[in-house]
Structures are given as structure tokens and as C-alpha cells.
Structure 1
Amino acid sequence: MTNRQPVSPHEVKEALLPNDKGGYVQRWYVYRDCLPVNAINQFIHKKSGRSPSTGKTYAYDLVAWLNFLYRRKTEYHEATLPDIEAYKDYLAYGLYCNSSVLKITSEITYSTLKRAIIAIQGFYRWFAGHVEVFVPVHTSAQRKFNARNKVKHSFMYGQIYEVHVDEILDIENMRLKPSGYKKHWLTEAEKKAFLDSFHTERDKAIFMLLCEGMRIDEALSIKYSAYDSDDLTVKPSRSKGYTDEYEDKFRIIAFHDQRTSEYIDRYIQTERADVETALDDYLVPMFVNLKKHDVSYGKAVTYRNWWGVLKTAAKKVGIDPTEIATHVGRRSFIQEKLEEGEDPEIIRQMVGWASQKPLDAYRDTRSKKVIKNAAERRRSRW
């Protein structure tokens, strides 16, 4: 009997690292046959610095790349641009990528494919400056990179990270699946329709918190003790992968819509109180599972729970569930503040950004109110 090599020896494992506050920070690392892949993990650790969830995304993108190379009998430090090209076709068309005529539509979106390629390019850009591999590259761009970054050796990885991602994707010749989440903003009438479609006060409260500019992981992480019914504020215990050991990083959210506190109060007084009575226990999470015969009864609502609720509600409202995301409430909040003429710096503080840079991605440039307010702000500086 012969031993067969595993098809996918690389895997992602979760790790909890102690921090200086006596708690733990969550990380994700890549292992091969139960052993850590050091160079990959150093890069992932660097990417996890500002956001653990970013590190997790890079870990899964890179482990897929490593397993693809393994099937091609290539090590990651031997990869070249043709490997990237082959991987792009593999992601887009799977088993059909060797066909000379591609007449199928890919099941992957452009944004997902682009993210995967950017993760690989980012790793090799970092790898070139940190690991000594004596394969000379004599391009002008590589020499400039080495001089700019004080790299003492020449490497072959410039051919991977110096190529623009759109050149690699060659999108004109690929029939990629259209990107989803086309519904970026909700009107007030659509908000009301969503609220009318939810079956529970809990779901209405969560939805309104998202329309207050909260991220879904922030809303679902709220502890009962973090809600101030007098000041009408809440504070999350998780944000973008950071957990409550980083409590000082989390902003306090003050409600702008009176309905938010009304739905939260009704939920606490009715549905949540019923669960506490049935379990005869104090519940730490604010939002809990309400299904009595479910194994998760009384436990915190998960992203998957809420995602299913939102898609069901979207269908009732008449919106294609594949075109809506949990971020639609946050986007709508930002758009409303822009239409009201709110200062971009105040908006940045409200939604918890480190800079104003992401604002353009949330702005509906077709809105006449936004254009008018922007013009008035410019005129006020004259």
C-alpha cells in the first residue's frame, strides 16, 4: 500500500497571541503539513497589525495560491508570472482553464479575483525585500526598486508585483461573474419597507443600528451593559476583527434616529426579557437567538443569522437578495450626512475611519444635494 500525498497540504489555522493587556489577540496563519510557513506568516502578521480581519483575508487568499502551486509541483519561492497567469485562469474557470475556447461564464467576480491577485503581488513585493534568493533580475525597474528600498540583492519577483493587476486579469477577454451588491443606498421609503418586513423587534433594532453607521460586526458585538438608554448611545466590543481587549479603540455611537432607541427598548422589554426568563440566566450579549428549540437559543446572533434575515427581508421588499449587503445601512447613513451638508471630518469621526480617504467610495455622486453642498463648502472658502 503506497502513501499518497495530500492534494492540499496547506491550511489556515487560528491562533490567539497574548497581548500586553493580559488578554489575547486573534490571528490566522498558514501551515503546511502542520508546520508553519514562516515567510508567508511573517507577511500575514504584518498585514494583521491594523486589522486582524485583513490578516485573515490574506491568509485564505495565500493558502489557495500555495495549494495551487503545490498541484503544479512548484514552491512559492520559485513562482513566476506564468504561474500567476495560470492561477488567474484557474480561479476564473476551474477545470475549464485548459480549454482553447472559453465559452462559459466564470463563477468568480472581478473584485474577488482582483483581491486574490493583489494579495499575491503584495506578498512578493514584501518577500523581495526580506528574503535572500539569488536569482538575478536585470530590469531597470527592479534596480530602481532595490536602490529605493536599500535591497542588497537581486530577485526574480519583480516580474510578479510590477505588472499592473488589470494586465494580469486581462478583463476584456474574460467573462467574469458580475459583481453583486448593486444596491448601495436606501431611500427613507425603502428603510420603512425593510422595517415592516422584519418579524422581530430584535431585527428592527439591528437594522436601525446599521442605519446609524455601524458595521455589522460592531452591531452584533454590543453587550447589554454597553447600551445607555438615557444618553441614547452604544459602544461595540468588536470592530474589524478587534475584540474587547482593544476597547479603547472603539468609538461610542450616538443615535441620530429616534426609532433606533425605540426598537432597542421594545426588544429588551419583550423578546430579550422572555429569553432571560426562559433560561433563568443573565445574558451578556445584547442581541440573542430567539428560537426556543434551537441549540443556539439565548446565544449571540451571528453574522450568518443576520445575513439570512436581511436577504429574506430584501426579497419581501422587492430587492434582489444578491444585490444587497449588510453595509447598505452604513452607506445610507453616510450619504444622508453628506446630503445634509455635514463636514467630512465629522462624518469620519462618526463612522470610525482613520482618515477621510474611504469617503469617496460611499458617496453617491449622482445626488444633487451632495453636489450642491460640496459647491457651497467651496464657495464659503472664497
Structure 2
Amino acid sequence: MEKRFQVKRFLFETTAGDEVCRYMLTDRLLPLLAPNQYIEMKSINKLGTGKSYAYKLCVYFNFLHEKQHTNYEAATNKQVLEFVDHLIYGDKENLRILSPQESFCYSTLSGYVTAITDFYRWLDQTYGSGMVFYEGERRCRPQSYLYGQIYTYQYKYLINRMLPDVKGSREYIKWYTDKEKALLCSGFHTLRDEAVFRLTLEGFRIDEVLSIRLGDYREVERLIQPSRSKRRQSAVSGYENKLRTVRIGEETAKALNDYLFVERPSAENEGGIISDWLFLTLRGKSAGQPLTYHNYRKSLKNCAERCGISAVGVRTHSGRSTKVMEVLEHNALHPEQEKSDIQIKALFGWSQIDSIQPYMNHNSEIMANAAYRRHSKKDGDSND
């Protein structure tokens, strides 16, 4: 039987005449006002975030309708607790429990709790309920329909108690060896994906790479400036861009120029779209549209498999991490050329130099040997 609440994909036209895709919650195929306002807010910086929240709220809304015979406006925290219980154990009323293969993992359950509590927080702040709330406590007026009792309730303890996070942390490739870098650079099927990968090796976040516009790249000087950092739209077209500018290496510039000359014009022609974004989808129904994170991530993992590298262990962030370690190891080997804290912050777009600490704590053989040689030299000098 068809569910009452469903997520549907809509195509809208912007004031600039462009088309944008949005995922919206529908009630018997009619869009819902308040929930979709919230989902739109989550979709502004990243469409995938709004889509994820839409599907989680859809599951929750259908549970309230089918099992509790109520709606999100009248829900109580008791019903939210029963929803979490339902996700963990299945339908206990019909004596149908989840098989181990169907059970949600800890992070997925936490994602549902985050989506629901964040939605009710926004709902209360936007539409108001006239209640004084106390963060972290369950103190509120007795009316069951008020939203604060939901978003201030500590649901995570329930998940921690029922489903402890016992799964070991996944082993990722934190940074690449020179051999792995060479293999991956030669293993991509498109010039575009190689250029994106090489830019991450220059120290850019993947979100920054995908935010680069044509005007952000100065080919002659080999200078690049992203328009977004950490998923925040920090530079609007037509206004001053205050984000950092990075000079890229010759090999990276060559890969990028080859892509711009060979592949990008064909993508614009196939899509029939003149785009300002640097990296575009090359073919298919989305040809000419900006390259998405998920498409690049899939290409990176496929490339890793072709190169004999574990696709599970590959992250889009590993290229940036590699650059950080290269800088640290260069500083250790060549202290006379050591980059200052200001230079390092400018290179990686950090507001605080403390962000480098996790890399400093890593037991790098090169850094350890360099430190040993420096200390040995000092000890030798002191004995003279």
C-alpha cells in the first residue's frame, strides 16, 4: 500500500532563469509547507543534506500516522521514543522484529534523532510555542503538543543504552605514498577527475575544489581561489572573495588546463548550458551541471580499485591530509626553509594553527628521524 507521506523530486526555476532540483515532503502527493521550508534551509549549501533529512522525516511522519494515529504537530516525546524503539527492534505489535541484516547501525540511528530534534528546534523558533525551554533538561509545561519537549529531550542515551557503538572504527588511508599518488593520477578515466584529485593534493578541501568558478583560476600565474569553504558559501558572485589564494604546481596546472581545453567545452555543448562552475558533469542527463561530491567520490573509489588500492580505505580528504604531512615533513628535514604558522594557516585555510595538531601527533618516520638527527647534533656539539 502506498505511504501517505512520500519524498518527491521537484525542479524549480530561479530568478536568474536557472533550474534547481529540490527534494520535498508530500502529504498524499501535496507538498507540506513547514517541513519543506525546513528541508529547503538544509538544501541551500548542499542538496544531499536536504534530501537525507527529507527521507528521515518521511519515515518518522509515516510512523506517527500509521502507528500513533497522529501527526508531527501533535507528537510527544513519548512517541518519538517509541519511534526510536521501532527503528531498533522493529514492529513489536505484530511480533515482527528486525533481522540482523536489516538493523540500523549506531550512526544511522543518531542521524534520525538529529533530524527530528533539529526539525522541532527550527519549528519552535520559526512558528513559536510560547514556552521557556531549558536545554538538556526535560522541564516544560505539561501541554503535549509543544515542540520544546522533543528537541530538548536527550534521546541519544537511549541509543547508547540499547545499541552501544561497539563497531570498530574503519581504517582509512590517511595520506598517500608517492607510489599511490602516481597510480591514482594515472588511473582516472577522465581529465576532470585527475584534475580534481591533483587539486586535493595541493591542500584544498574537496568542497573547495567543487566550488571553484572559471573566474577563480588564473592560468598564467597558476593561482586558484575557491568560492566556498567548509560548505559555507563565503564568496558570492560579483562581490569580493576573501578566501585564500593558492599557487598550484605545474603538473596540477597542466592537468587542469587539459581538462578545460578538451572535456569541459564538450560538456557545455552536450548540456546546452553556459556554466560558471569549473568542474562539470561530462555526460548523461546532468551534462553541463556542476560536478557533485558523490559523483567524484564514486570515480575516486573506482579509480582506486583499478589501481589495486583498497576502495574502502580511500577518502576524498586523504589528498589534503597528504599535503599537510608533506609540509610537516619538509619542515622537519629542512628547518632553514620552515614555513611559519601564518603561511601554513594561509595554505590550508585554517583559522587556528591548532588544526595541525592531529598531524603532529602522528608517528611519522621522517619527522622522527629528523628530530633524532637534530637532537644528536645538539648533543654532539655540547660535548666539544
Q: What TM-score do the two structures reach when normalised by structure 2?
A: 0.66
In structure 1, what is the Cα distance between the partners aligned to 2:214 and 2:354? 31
Note the aligned Cα RMSD (angstroms).
5.2
2:263 — aligned with what? 272
16 and 266 in structure 1: CA distance in 2 versus 1, 3 angstrom threshold = closer
In structure 2, what is the Cα distance between the partners aligned to 1:26 and 1:361? 40
* Greater Cα shift, 90-99 or 257-266: 90-99
- The question of whether the paired residues in 1 share the 8 Å contact of 2:222 and 2:248 is answered with no
In structure 1, what is the Cα distance between the partners aligned to 2:264 and 2:195? 15
In structure 1, what is the Cα distance between the partners aligned to 2:300 and 2:314? 9
What does residue range 252-331 of structure 1 map to in structure 2 within 5 Å?
A: 253-268=245-260, 271-272=262-263, 275=266, 286-287=278-279, 301-331=291-321
* Displacement of 1:36: 4.5
Q: What SS is found at the alignment partner of 1:321?
A: coil
* Displacement of 1:118: 1.3
180 and 76 in structure 1: CA distance in 2 versus 1, 3 angstrom threshold = farther
1:380 — aligned with what? none
Structure 2: gaps (5+ residues): 332-337, 372-384
Query: Residue 66 of structure 2 aligns to which amino acid in structure 1?
Result: R
2:375 — aligned with what? none
1:61 — aligned with what? 56
Structure 1: gaps (5+ residues): 147-152, 374-382
What does residue range 27-38 of structure 1 map to in structure 2 within 5 Å?
A: 29-38=24-33
- The question of whether the paired residues in 1 share the 8 Å contact of 2:113 and 2:156 is answered with no
28 and 324 in structure 1: CA distance in 2 versus 1, 3 angstrom threshold = same
1:149 — aligned with what? none
2:197 — aligned with what? 207
60 and 302 in structure 1: CA distance in 2 versus 1, 3 angstrom threshold = same
Is 1:88 the counterpart of 2:84? The answer is yes
Q: What SS is found at the alignment partner of 1:323?
A: coil
228 and 126 in structure 1: CA distance in 2 versus 1, 3 angstrom threshold = closer
* Displacement of 1:25: 8.8
128 and 286 in structure 1: CA distance in 2 versus 1, 3 angstrom threshold = closer
125 and 219 in structure 1: CA distance in 2 versus 1, 3 angstrom threshold = closer
* Displacement of 1:315: 1.5
277 and 213 in structure 1: CA distance in 2 versus 1, 3 angstrom threshold = closer
- The question of whether the paired residues in 2 share the 8 Å contact of 1:224 and 1:286 is answered with yes
1:196 — aligned with what? 186
Query: Residue 325 of structure 1 aligns to which amino acid in structure 2?
Result: R
* Greater Cα shift, 67-76 or 156-165: 156-165
Structure with the bigger RCO (C-alpha within 8 Å, sep 6+) is: 1
2:219 — aligned with what? 229
Query: Residue 116 of structure 1 aligns to which amino acid in structure 2?
Result: Y
272 and 345 in structure 1: CA distance in 2 versus 1, 3 angstrom threshold = same
136 and 174 in structure 1: CA distance in 2 versus 1, 3 angstrom threshold = same
* Displacement of 1:51: 6.7
* Greater Cα shift, 32-41 or 241-250: 241-250
* Displacement of 1:76: 0.9
Deviations 1:36-92 (A, max 9, x none): 534434544665677776555444433332233233233112323443344335545
In structure 1, what is the Cα distance between the partners aligned to 2:33 and 2:42? 14
- The question of whether the paired residues in 2 share the 8 Å contact of 1:135 and 1:154 is answered with no
- The question of whether the paired residues in 2 share the 8 Å contact of 1:227 and 1:234 is answered with yes
* Displacement of 1:7: 0.8
What does residue range 85-234 of structure 1 map to in structure 2 within 5 Å?
A: 85-91=81-87, 104-106=100-102, 108-128=104-124, 141-143=137-139, 157-170=147-160, 173=163, 182-220=172-210, 222-224=212-214, 226-234=216-224
161 and 268 in structure 1: CA distance in 2 versus 1, 3 angstrom threshold = closer
* Greater Cα shift, 168-177 or 117-126: 168-177
119 and 23 in structure 1: CA distance in 2 versus 1, 3 angstrom threshold = same
7 and 259 in structure 1: CA distance in 2 versus 1, 3 angstrom threshold = same
- The question of whether the paired residues in 2 share the 8 Å contact of 1:136 and 1:155 is answered with no
243 and 162 in structure 1: CA distance in 2 versus 1, 3 angstrom threshold = closer
319 and 344 in structure 1: CA distance in 2 versus 1, 3 angstrom threshold = farther
In structure 2, what is the Cα distance between the partners aligned to 1:27 and 1:273? 25
Identity %: 29
- The question of whether the paired residues in 1 share the 8 Å contact of 2:64 and 2:71 is answered with yes
Query: Residue 261 of structure 1 aligns to which amino acid in structure 2?
Result: A
Q: What SS is found at the alignment partner of 1:11?
A: strand
Deviations 1:1-59 (A, max 9, x none): xxx7x41424355576968x999998765443354534434544665677776555444
* Displacement of 1:274: 8.9
* Displacement of 1:205: 1.4
- The question of whether the paired residues in 1 share the 8 Å contact of 2:273 and 2:288 is answered with no
Is 1:77 the counterpart of 2:73? The answer is yes
Q: What SS is found at the alignment partner of 2:7?
A: strand
* Displacement of 1:286: 4.3
In structure 1, what is the Cα distance between the partners aligned to 2:266 and 2:60? 45
Q: What SS is found at the alignment partner of 2:202?
A: coil
Q: What SS is found at the alignment partner of 2:263?
A: helix
- The question of whether the paired residues in 1 share the 8 Å contact of 2:53 and 2:115 is answered with yes
